[in-house]
C-alpha cells in the first residue's frame, strides 16, 4: 500500500495501519527469527508520511503495544526504529 496523502478518501485508520505495519516489519526483521524479510522502502516511506499526521501519543501507543505483544524492550524498539537518535 502506497499512501496517497492527497486522496480525499484517506482515513486516520490508514495512517495508523501504515505506521503499525512499519513497526511490525522492523520487529519481524530485527527481533524475530523469521526467514521472510518484511520491511520495504514503500512500508518505510508510508510510515514516515503517516508520522507527519499522527499525534505522538498515537505512535507511542502503537510502539508500546507492539513491543508488549512481541516481548521486545520498548527502549530497544525505539533504537531499532530511530537508530540515529
What band does 1 get if pLDDT is binned at 50, 70 and 90? Answer: low
Q: Cell digits for 27? A: 520487529
According to the model, what pLDDT value does residue 26 have?
96
pTM of the model: 0.91
CB 70 within 8 A of CB 31: yes
Tens of pLDDT, residues 17-75: 999 999 999 999 999 888 899 999 999 999 999 999 999 999 999 999 999 999 999 99
Amino acid at each position: 500500500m502506497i499512501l496517497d496523502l492527497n486522496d480525499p478518501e484517506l482515513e486516520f485508520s490508514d495512517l495508523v495501519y501504515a505506521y503499525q505495519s512499519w513497526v511490525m516489519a522492523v520487529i519481524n526483521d530485527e527481533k524475530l527469527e523469521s526467514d521472510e524479510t518484511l520491511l520495504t522502502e514503500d512500508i518505510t516511506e508510508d510510515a514516515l508520511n503517516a508520522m507527519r499526521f499522527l499525534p505522538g501519543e498515537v505512535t507511542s501507543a502503537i510502539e508500546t503495544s507492539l513491543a508488549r505483544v512481541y516481548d521486545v524492550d520498548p527502549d530497544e524498539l525505539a533504537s531499532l526504529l530511530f537508530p540515529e537518535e
